[in-house]
Amino acid sequence: MNRRTSLAIAFAMTLGLGIFATASSAQSPPSPIYLVHPLKGGVYWIEGGAGSNNGYIVGDKGVIAIDMKTTVPSEKMALAELAKITTKPITDVILTHSDSDHVNGLPALPPGLNIISQVNCKKQIEEAVARGAPNAISKEYIPTKTVDKMESLTLDGVRLTLLHWTPGHTSGDLIVYLPDQKIAFTGDAYNSRLPGPYIHLNEGGSGVGWIEEMKHMIALDAGLYVTGHGSLVLKPELMRSLAANERELEQVKPLIAQGKSLDEIERAIGEDKSKPLMHEDGRPLPFFSEVVYEELTKK
């Protein structure tokens, strides 16, 4: 099954569950259109605006949010769409990692919420607040609860499993798995708009760790994966991405051990750099071979 087929199936499954949407969106520049996608069991995801996809799970008395938009105005617009679905307030927020495009919309919500993150994610947010990073959130929105490796819990009648196996996109990645709905929210551990993994080595991310992270995500009993950016994906797409990057890692590692330079390694593996990888905001991104080389040759 090719990528186009798998995405078609993903959209078909979502349509069968009743998508409320009017047009496609791009993230850079922010789309004024917000697409609200109902899944099942009170689970929704919203794309559009500035920043990541948002997840919302309607519980018994409130709503559990997964990630925020980049800005307060953009998050408020997403919340306006949520208000068309339910009048229940957001009582809990789960952050998949510390990147600003998943966190900085938090002040659109009242302070005093239960905010959950992985241990390293909280540390990174605290550091950003302490140094007065541009657009950093205020201390009222620092996570109130942390998860180290794994925790299963029930929030407002909703069963959740929060999982961190290894550094991947960052050192604070947290996968949100809903066992009853068989849905996983990946954060930027998988970005369906990019052809390969995007690793923040400066935030403790790891290309080698990402391989293991993907294996664990694929092993989940999940029928749908909601990505940090882009569309839903199915397990076969994750498997293809894992296989391609695992092959590249196994090619690069022995060449690094032989003392080859990055240029020599890229020539040896036939890395095609004629089409640079670009982030949605226009920034160039390193190829996976570059990430692995930098990671494995650190002193």
pLDDT at residue 77 in the model = 94
Strand partners, 93: 65, 115
Buried b (16+ CB within 10 A) or exposed e, 25-34: bebeebbeeb
pTM recorded for the entire structure: 0.87
CATH number at residue 179: 3.60.15.10
Q: What domain range is 217 assigned to?
A: 3-296
Strands 43-49 and 175-178: unpaired
Residues 259-284 pLDDT 10s = 999 999 999 999 888 777 877 777 78
d(CA 73, CA 294): 37
How many domains in the chain?
1
Residues 167-207 pLDDT 10s = 999 999 999 999 999 999 999 999 998 888 999 999 999 99
d(CA 251, CA 258): 12
The residue type of 207 is G
pLDDT at residue 11 in the model = 35
pLDDT at residue 133 in the model = 76
